[in-house]
């Protein structure tokens, strides 16, 4: 089991899923449809998996007719992160979602379904059963980042108190590592936490 599986996936409380089917009914992808098709043709497994189950809606309006709340929630979240571009935007539905909201492909569903929501920062539909738990996990991420920032301040003070170049070099290396960990969360606003 890798760290991601151990620290996140295996801890997800699956019983929180309400089996509402919203995350199968209206979804989007981080790449435009044309790019996804290109990626799938070049053998990208993630793109192949996605297009094996998801079918594009003809337009955003068609997706809105199915569930405007989910569409607007996705657009709002992407806009907040500066990632919303209507021209590149396609919404999809899963061909396997059944009328009773259950999966018609459960045993063979791809990894992207098995891992959903795959991170505390994943966009989930309004009223998804995981919302509260994801909020707590995001707070844990923020606390970790704040601790790293405190460590950076302490290291700065330590550096001012020493003249030993080898110690300064070691401190610089640790600072670099901490800063790169903080920067990993920059897209979620870590500079303001």
Q: Which helix (H) or strand (E) holds 54?
A: strand 54-56
Is 111 a binding residue for ligand SF4 by CB under 6 A? The answer is no
Is 53 a binding residue for ligand SF4 by CB under 6 A? The answer is yes
By CB under 6 A, name the one of 6, 7, 20, 140 that touches ligand SF4: 20
CA distance 162 to 36: 53
By CB under 6 A, name the one of 103, 122, 148, 171 that touches ligand SF4: 103
Residue 16 or 173 with smaller CB distance to ligand SF4 = 16
Nearest to 25 by CA among 95, 127, 105: 95
Is 29 a binding residue for ligand SF4 by CB under 6 A? The answer is no
Is 74 a binding residue for ligand SF4 by CB under 6 A? The answer is no
Distances (CA, A) of 136 to 16, 53, 130, 139, 143: 14, 31, 10, 5, 11
Is 8 a binding residue for ligand SF4 by CB under 6 A? The answer is no
Distances (CA, A) of 68 to 32, 132, 182: 20, 22, 35
Minimum CB–partner distance for residue 50 and ligand SF4 (Å)? 9
103 bridge partner residues = 97
Radius of gyration of the chain (CA): 21
Are β-strands 92-94 and 54-56 bridged in parallel, bridged antiparallel, or unpaired? antiparallel
CA distance 90 to 33: 6
By CB under 6 A, name the one of 24, 29, 51, 182 that touches ligand SF4: 24
Is 57 a binding residue for ligand SF4 by CB under 6 A? The answer is no
Is 113 a binding residue for ligand SF4 by CB under 6 A? The answer is yes
By CB under 6 A, name the one of 36, 71, 89, 128 that touches ligand SF4: 128
Is 70 a binding residue for ligand SF4 by CB under 6 A? The answer is no
Is 21 a binding residue for ligand SF4 by CB under 6 A? The answer is yes
Interaction site with ligand SF4 (CB under 6 A): 17-24, 53, 94, 96-97, 103, 105, 109, 113, 116, 124-125, 128-130
């Amino acid at each position: 089991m890798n760290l991601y599986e151990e620290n996140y996936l295996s801890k997800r409380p699956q019983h929180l899923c309400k089996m509402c089917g919203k995350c199968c009914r209206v979804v989007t992808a981080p790449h435009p449809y044309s790019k996804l098709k290109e990626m799938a043709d070049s053998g990208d497994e993630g793109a192949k998996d996605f297009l094996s189950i998801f079918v594009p809606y003809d337009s955003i309006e068609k997706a809105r007719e199915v569930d405007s709340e989910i569409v607007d929630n996705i657009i709002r979240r992407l806009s907040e992160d500066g990632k919303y571009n209507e021209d590149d935007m396609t919404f999809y539905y899963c061909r396997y979602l059944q009328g009773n909201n259950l999966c018609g492909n459960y045993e063979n569903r791809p990894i992207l379904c098995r891992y959903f929501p795959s991170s505390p920062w994943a966009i989930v539909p309004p009223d998804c059963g995981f919302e509260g738990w994801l909020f707590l996990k995001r707070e844990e991420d923020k606390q970790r980042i704040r601790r790293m920032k405190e460590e950076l301040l302490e290291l700065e003070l330590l550096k001012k108190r020493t003249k030993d170049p080898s110690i300064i070099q070691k401190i610089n290396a640790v600072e670099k590592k901490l800063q790169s960990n903080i920067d990993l969360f920059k897209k979620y606003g870590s500079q303001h936490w």
